[in-house]
Amino acid sequence: MGILRKLFRATPTPTADGAFSPSPLAIRLGTSPTTDYDGGVYPTLYTGSNNRILMICTEERNMTMANGKTFSTGNHPVEMGLPMLHLINAGFEIDIVTPTGAPVVIEEWAMPADDADIKGLYRDYAEAFANPGSLAEFVANKMENAGSYAAVYIPGGHGAMLGLPDNSDVGKVLHWAHEQEMFTLALCHGPAALLAAKTDEGFLYDGYKMTVFPDAVDKQTPVIGYLPGPMPWWVGEKLTALGAQITNTKADASCHVDRRLVTGASPKAANAFGRLAAETLLK
């Protein structure tokens, strides 16, 4: 097996801090130098007062797998970037926060090197990613009087499983958004953060239909060296145990809207999810 993995370049790549990024084979199969961004043109832009999006990003990089190895992850640049482009082009402004205000961690190995729109976005937002706001400070001092928000957005990447699902401030923001009839947007592994909305009274999204990156695919990815071992836990399994209904079985471009929750299934859904989110907010 080890010989075959070397032959097909399916061995995860060690990083400087002792973790692993995806193998050359996994990078070739799972990423692309360009995206399917459709240009983000909207004939009518949002002009109301609730024009802000609170984007909650992970500030953690390394995920410890079930076998003890660590996976170098973060926020997926396409899953975060394409929806940002759509929302910005539709007339919304994005406020970037991490749990403590530490820099946003990005899966640099997934950056589409030949995509001018994505590269331009990351240049424009470099300072905001390096110095985001603090979610803890927002919850403590601003949330109750914040009246200019239309949505909370949780981008994808396995990093959404780190520091967000068990963060009480994330849970408070999700309940606040629900009570204020704002939208919640979550893509790929982003719905993992919805687990923070569980309280002693129940799960906020019990009975909601949503699209999520499939556990079945996560269980296959170590074969090609995308992950250095089995996942420590499974997003879909935890969500369904709390009453969520996952509608997709493939890591495809499917998206779904249930009440004020907008979700997308995978990196392939990033453009469609971004457009759906923007058009839903514009309505």
- Judge whether 42 lies within some domain: no
Q: Within 13 Å and on the Cβ side, how many CA atoms surround 128?
A: 14
Amino acid in position 190: G
- Judge whether 39 lies within some domain: no
Question: How far apart are alpha carbons 222 and 229 in whole angstroms?
Answer: 6
Q: Domain of 18: which CATH number?
A: 3.40.50.880
Looking at the DSSP assignment, which residues form a beta bridge with residue 180?
A: none
pLDDT of residue 169: 98
| Residue 82, both tokens | 């394409």
| Residue 85, both tokens | 């482009």
pLDDT of residue 147: 85
Question: How far apart are alpha carbons 147 and 163 in whole angstroms?
Answer: 26
pLDDT of residue 133: 98
- Judge whether 137 lies within some domain: yes
Domain range spanning residue 166?
A: 2-33+54-282
- Judge whether 44 lies within some domain: no
pLDDT of residue 266: 97
* Total domains present in the chain: 1
Task: Walk along the chain (283 residues) and give the pLDDT tens digit of each residue.
Answer: 455 456 457 899 999 999 999 999 999 999 999 999 999 999 999 999 999 999 999 999 999 999 999 999 999 999 999 999 999 999 999 999 999 999 999 999 999 999 999 999 999 999 999 999 999 999 999 998 888 999 999 999 999 999 999 999 999 999 999 999 999 999 999 999 999 999 999 999 999 999 999 999 999 999 999 999 999 999 999 999 999 999 999 999 999 999 999 999 999 999 999 999 999 999 8
Question: How far apart are alpha carbons 214 and 228 in whole angstroms?
Answer: 18
SS3 of residue 202 by DSSP: strand
248, 174 Cβ separation under 8 angstroms: no
CA proximity to 197, closest of 181, 232, 213, 173:
173
pLDDT of residue 4: 44
Question: How far apart are alpha carbons 209 and 258 in whole angstroms?
Answer: 6
pLDDT of residue 145: 85
The answer to whether residue 188 is catalytic is yes
Point out the catalytic residue in the list 104, 177, 188, 272: 188
